[in-house]
Structures are given as structure tokens and as C-alpha cells.
Structure 1
Amino acid sequence: MKKGLRFLTVALPLLLAACAPAPAVRMKGDAGQLAAQQSREQSLAQADHWVMQGRLGVSSGKDGGSGSFSWTQNGDQYEFVLRGPAISGADFRLSGGPDGALLEGLKSGPIRGPDAEALMRKALGWEVPLRDLRAWVLGLRADSGPADVSFGDNKLPSLLLQDGWAVEYREWDTSRQPALPTKVYASKSPYKVKLSIESWQFQ
């Protein structure tokens, strides 16, 4: 074997290993971390008037799409707008509240229903846990059931397990108090939802 080829054979696996991302730190919270998380949740519990913007990717294991989004929350009323050429150039607008939901942007015309998640599932084949996601994007445990949370070396949530979903917190904006997530990946096989949050505005 020539020296150059032998070098590549030995060096390439080392190079690939060096380029691989380091595994996320995840540890069970101690009393202090759990208390800090509870304090964060209490501080943000009443944060129900905000605008969030960023990038979204959704996959069902077979189909998927991505684009830019804006999410406006005004109490129990919400408006979620998704734009992007990666989704056949279509813009979708999901809005509603306790009285029902409206999905616009479909070729067949707008559709209404009592449940936003059911509308997304029926029209697009996407399983998106919108009720829980409203809490998860703030880095909070949803009130829908038991949750198991692990923490990173920044003492903020790294992994949240709830309702059969695994929610990974890849990045945080620690310049805010309380800190807010900027990259949130939620998965429940075969579904995946990836949020890259570029801006938060609270009212």
C-alpha cells in the first residue's frame, strides 16, 4: 500500500471522528436545578402574549417540508404562518383559539375544525403537538401530563420527555432572564419537528 493511501486509511476515520458533534450533556437534575426550572416555569407561566419568528422543519418519515414561520400568541388566540419554497411554494396560515381552528393556504381552499392538531394531520399529514409545543418552545413542561427533564452543563433543560415526545434543547439565549430556547427539536417516531428560533418579542 502506498504511503499516501495508507495515511488516508488511518487518518480519515480520525478526521471524521474529530468533525462529529460532541454528544449533548444530559444529567438528571439535582434539587437546585429542579428548583431553578420550577422558578423559570413560574416566571413564564403567564407569558401568553408573544411573537416568535424563525425556521421550521417537519417530517413524517416519508414526507416533509421546511420554511420560515411566525407564531403570534395572544392569550388563547394564536396565528401560525408558515412560508417557504420547500413546501411547494405554498404559504399556510393556521389560526384559532378555544372555539376552533382555521387552516388557510390549501389548494382545495380553507378548512375549519374544532382541533388545530387534527386539521394539520388531515390536511398535511403532519403530526405536530401544537398544544404541548406552546409550552415546550418556552422551555417549559406542558400541563398535559407527567414529564421527565434532563439538564445540560448550562444547568438548563437539555432533554424533555413528555406525551411520548422527546424534546431536545440544542441552544439557548442566556442573555434573557429567564433564558429562552433558540433551537428546539421534538420527535416521536416517525415524526420530527425542528424549530430554529431567530427572534422573540413579548408584549
Structure 2
Amino acid sequence: MRMRLCFLLLPLALMTACTTKPLIRQQGDAATLGAQESRERALSGKDHWTVQGKLSVSNGQDGGSGTLTWRQSGDDYDFTVRGPVTGKSFRLSGGPAGATLEGLDGGPQRGADAESLMERALGWKLPMRDLQAWVRGLRADSGPADIAFGADGLPSRIEQDGWQVEYRAWNATLEPALPTKVFAEHPPYKVRLSIDNWTSD
């Protein structure tokens, strides 16, 4: 069960690039908001990237963790998680033509999209499309959002679609800066992502 839950979080990664921005209630002065809009414009055009790090997930009763490799190539994604003890891998991959989930008992499962496939196969409802934006410190294009900033002028929190996404650390040496610790919560669900490496293709 632990390994199974570990992979559940991964699907959050299947999102499409953010091209439009919803109306947003923002906290911050004009300079801070302008800097965030510049980040969003710059990152919306960079849709080929790889994240490597650690992932943990909980539904309030069960949870799990593992190492994550997430490759995004435009609308196509490849999300792989490996458990720390068994070494067993789970892979979620696909794009506009559909999604495939490998590593579960019974062989690969397929669906029209990652969200419906994960719900059917594992019983989880997760904002997979939104996470592609949130993991980069951006608001998703799915509806209104609240955003707050830290003393460094970078987002400290985004609230959207009932989820609260907190940014605990950033890599400010990158241009634009990108998060390294992302905590998302929508009780009872919790997702924790610690990013060791960002790579742009």
C-alpha cells in the first residue's frame, strides 16, 4: 500500500503548459506583482524540463514516499517514482492522445487522460493539470487564485481550487527562480515535493 500511495502523487505532474491566466486576488505591491507576471511569461514558454527529487503523499490514513523523475516535453509527460526499499518503479506517461500507468499489479492500465486514469486505477482525485504550474511557482489556468509573497519577492503561498500550495524554499540562482520545496494540501490529501535538480531541455 505504501508504494502504491507513493505513485499516486506523481500523476499530479501531468499538466499542460499555462497559456492563459485567471483573474487573481493578489497580495503584494505593484513591483512584486509585476515581477511575478514576468516570471509567468518567461516560464510559460519553457515547456521542456526535467525535475529530479523526492516525493511523499498522504491521504490522512496511509502514505508513502520515493524518488521522482518527472520529464515534461510540451504536452507529453513521463513521471517515474521509485520506492526507497523495494526499488519498484511506477511510471505514468502520455499526452493528448491518452495516459498509461505501469507498475501496478495486473499490468499496464490506460485511460483518456491522467486524471481519470489515476482516479479509476487508484481512487485518487488530484489536481494533476494544475500541478505543472504550481511546481514552478505559477498559478494554474483553472480558475481564480490567491497568491502571497515572501520577503524575497517570490511566492510563499498559492491557494487555488481548494488546495493550499506552500513554497518552503527556492533556487534563486536559476533564471527565472524555481521552487525546491513545494507542499500542497487539500485535507485529507497532502503532497510533499523536495526538488534536487531542475533541468531545462
TM class by shorter-chain length?
0.7 to 0.9
Query: What's 1:75 paired with?
Result: 74
Match of 1:141 in 2: 139
Corresponding residue for residue 187 of structure 2? 189
Number of the residue aligned with 1:105: 103
- Amino acid in structure 1 at the alignment position of 2:102: E
- The match for 2:122 among 124, 139, 146 is 124
Over alpha carbons, which structure has the higher Rg?
Answer: 1
Paired position in structure 1 for 2:92: 94
- TM-score w.r.t. length of structure 2: 0.83
Counterpart residue number, 1:29: 28
Measure, in 2, the Cα distance between the counterparts of 1:128 and 1:199: 24
SS of 1:81's equivalent?
Answer: strand
Instruction: Tell me the alpha carbon deviations over residues 154-189 of structure 1, each in whole angstroms, 9 at most, x when there is no partner.
Output: 110000001111000000001111110000011101
1:89 shift after superposition: 4.9
* TM-score, normalization by structure 1: 0.83
Q: Which amino acid aligns with 1:84?
A: G
Report the alpha carbon displacement of residue 91 of structure 1 after superposing the two structures with TM.
1.3
Instruction: Tell me the amino acid that sits aligned with residue 75 of structure 1.
Output: G
- SS of residue in 2 equivalent to 1:51: strand
Distance in 1, Cα, partners of 2:120 & 2:129: 17
Does structure 1 retain, via aligned residues, the 8 Å contact 2:67–2:84? no
Tell me what 1:47 maps to.
46
Unaligned runs of 5+ in 2: 1-25
Distance 1:59 1:124 in 2: 13
What is the number of equivalent residue pairs in this alignment?
176
CA contact (8 A) 1:60 1:127 kept: no
CA distance in 2, matches of 1:126, 1:58: 11
Inter-partner Cα distance in structure 1 for 2:144 and 2:189 = 21
Task: Give the C-alpha shift of residue 102 in structure 1.
Answer: 0.3
Instruction: Check conservation: 1:28, 1:149, Cα contact below 8 A.
Output: yes
1:169 corresponds to: 167
Compute the displacement of 1:190 (Å): 0.5
The equivalent position to 2:176 in structure 1, one of 175, 178, 199, is 178
Segments of 5+ residues of structure 1 without an aligned counterpart are: 1-26
Question: 1:28/1:35 Cα in 2 relative to 1: closer, same or farther (>3 Å)?
Answer: same
Q: Name 2:153's counterpart in structure 1.
A: 155
**Is the CA contact 2:59–2:188 (under 8 Å) kept in the aligned structure 1?**
yes
Higher RCO, 1 vs 2 (CA within 8 Å, ≥6 residues apart):
2
List per-residue Cα deviations over 1:80-122 (Å, max 9, x = no partner). 0010136x65311000001110000001211000121222233
Equivalent position amino acid for 1:170 in 2: R
Structure 1 residue 28: deviation in Å? 2.3
Give me the CA root mean square deviation: 1.5
SS for the counterpart of 1:127 is: coil
Distance 2:107 2:187 in 1: 30
Contact 1:171/1:182 (<8 A) preserved? yes
Matches within 5 A, 1:9-24: none
Question: Structure 2 vs 1, CA of residues 53 and 92 (structure 1 numbering), >3 Å: closer, same or farther?
Answer: same
SS in 1 for 2:173: coil
